[in-house]
Structure 1
Amino acid sequence: MLMDSGYDSYQQVDLDAQAASASPHQLVVMLIDGLLDEVERTRGHITAGRLAQKGTSISKCMNILIGLDSALDDEKGGEVAQNLHQLYDFCQMELYQASLNNDVDKLTNVERVMGNIREGWMNFGQQS
């Protein structure tokens, strides 16, 4: 148990260091990566019947989506920001349905949408 705690602490310090030196585009990609990792954990919790952990994971996913959505600038982002808002809402509804019905197919939908958004951010970041 102590080994896990030390490793978790090391990972957190590494993540904090990455975030401190990241550009805004890199931060968005990091958030999406964290979301995708948590969706995979959620899948494991649903499959194993760990309902309390599933709820915690779903909550983390929702919080990341809310954070991504709140960072959108409708004025500067225009149609792109509106489209991202709709996609984040869709993902939140899919997560809600996944949680309610223990439906891992809904998680796959979230992974597809967020994977596509991640790819777009990666391509956008390379152009900047």
Structure 2
Amino acid sequence: MINNPYQKYQNQSVQTATPERLLLMLFEGAIRFCKEAMIGVDQNNFQLANEKNIRVQNIINELIVTLDREKGGEVAVNLLSIYNYINQRLIEANLKKDKTILEEVLSHLTELHQAFNEAAQVVRAQSGRTGDQA
């Protein structure tokens, strides 16, 4: 049983979120953990850097697993390539404790978040128009 009010709120947020919002939340988490991994590298706290890097890898792996390759077509294939590339760079960054690689990963994650956010806005706008027509 969850006693922490913040954890209850977070749990409720995830359970009631739309698929678009869940995707954005994953990217937001990956971005946050990537920044925390960079802080770990800066501080020579390699345990922190490792833990946060692995959290980003777990999120990327979740994105890979949930990618609908049948419905997604070429877009899904391209996303899979991007996710695999990011994963490889994360592994390399973790082995080398290289902040420059993490900065590159952060840039990719930020761009993907922005692109999915814009797509979610289009979906919301279209569903709003559909609702107005019904």
The AA in structure 2 aligned to 1:40 is K
After the TM superposition, which residues 54-69 of structure 1 pair with which residues of structure 2 at under 5 Å, given as runs?
54-69=49-64
Q: Within 5 A, what are the aligned runs for 1:30-45?
A: 30-45=25-40
- Corresponding position: 1:124 with 2:100: no
Runs of 4+ in structure 1 off by over 4 angstroms are none
When normalised by structure 2's length, the TM-score is: 0.85
Shift of 1:12: 2.6
Deviations 1:72-117 (A, max 9, x none): 0111001111111111111111111111111111111111111111
Matched letter for residue 23 of structure 1? T
Aligned partner of 1:122: which letter? N
Residue aligning to 1:78: 73
Gaps of 5+ in 1: 1-5
**Separation in 2, partners of 1:41, 1:21:** 27
How far does residue 56 in structure 1 lie from its aligned partner after superposition?
A: 1.2
**Given the alignment of the two structures, is residue 28 of structure 1 paired with residue 23 of structure 2, yes or no?**
yes
Q: Count the aligned residue pairs.
A: 121
User: Secondary structure of the residue that 2:58 maps to in structure 1?
Assistant: helix
Give the distance between the partners of 1:110 and 1:11, measured in 2 at CA. 29
Provide the aligned C-alpha RMSD in A: 1.4
Q: Which whole-Å CA distance do the structure 2 matches of 1:12 and 1:89 have between them?
A: 31
Under a length normalisation based on structure 1, what TM-score does the superposition of the two structures give?
0.88
Residue of structure 2 equivalent to 1:48? 43
Q: Percent of aligned positions with the same letter in both sequences?
A: 24
Among 100, 109, 112, the residue aligned to 1:114: 109
Give the structure with higher Rg (CA): 2
* SS of aligned partner of 1:49: coil
